[in-house]
Amino acid sequence: MTVRWGVSPIGWVNDDLPSLGAGTPLATILDDAAAIGFAGIERGGVFPAEPAALAQVLQGAGLALAGAWHGSGLLAHGLAGERAAIEVQAALLDACGCGVFVLAETSGAVHGRRDVALRARPRLAPGEWPAFGAMLTALGDRLAERGQRLAYHYHLGTVVEDADDLARLIDATGESVGLVIDTGHARLGGIDPVAVIRDHPARVAHVHAKDVRPGVAAATIGQGASFLDGVLAGMFTVPGDGAIDFAPVCAALRAIGYAGWIVIEAEQDPALAPPAAYARAGLAHLKALWG
């Protein structure tokens, strides 16, 4: 069984708060990722949006595309209203040989707003889940026909944040809807990633590995601060630098034969947490556990 080790550029330049890392050249991000030894990198906002240009840039750096965030507005616009944007993203992934479509529903989401408390995030009423799940399943089926796997990303500040949300999502969707196992968002959202991996192995489509500092989270988002306030204060870090024990996570992934991407990720201020050094340390920590 072989996993592929990737990295998110969010430690270099933060798409939710572009002032973090503003002005960092794309070449620096790519050179750092390649020098550390990552096989791939996820797409960030400073990357080309045109498929051929993105493929060329990645090829020049010797990196594969490990994924690309897509914030959907299914609840606001319906599947038909989102079709064009989804097709653009799918075409970009195709051009770069990436088979995983990372998606989070961002209708009403607050994670990108520093003026809104995280606790004000949107929620779905029980009766709204079936229709939402049906749209996601239809999308997952459509993507599967073109060789891509839908990987739903539960995320703080969105309609799928906590364990109850995730359970409802799984119940409302078919097997074509996979999951991003994000350890950091799981820990702060009250989700047990090991249990999700164990109980829903067929759903595990992608992994984001990041650590958390619970004391910082408690002092910020736990007291009514925004998601971005928590990020700025340092509630996230790379594996091995926080409170999460990644040994059970790695063991659970090995037990199901996981062979996709494991992406090192941490939303941090690069002026306080040098991104290359942190990414290198996170990768080393996980590789030592993986064996």
Paired with 69 in beta bridges are 102
pLDDT at 291: 83
The span from the CA of 50 to the CA of 57, in Å, is 11
Q: In whole angstroms, how large is the CA radius of gyration of the chain?
A: 18
The span from the CA of 104 to the CA of 180, in Å, is 10
- Report the share of the chain in percent with pLDDT over 90: 99
pLDDT at 214: 98
Question: What's the pLDDT tens digit per position in 134-186?
Answer: 999 999 999 999 999 999 999 999 999 999 999 999 999 999 999 999 999 99
The span from the CA of 114 to the CA of 50, in Å, is 30
Per the rule left: phi > 0, alpha: psi between -120 and 50, beta: everything else, 211 is: beta
The span from the CA of 229 to the CA of 5, in Å, is 29
For residue 105, pLDDT beyond 80: yes
Give the pLDDT band of residue 201 (cuts 50, 70, 90). very high
For residue 1, pLDDT beyond 90: no
Domains and CATH numbers, the chain: 4-290 (3.20.20.150)
Average pLDDT across the chain, whole number? 97
pLDDT at 248: 98
Report yes or no on whether pTM surpasses 0.95: yes
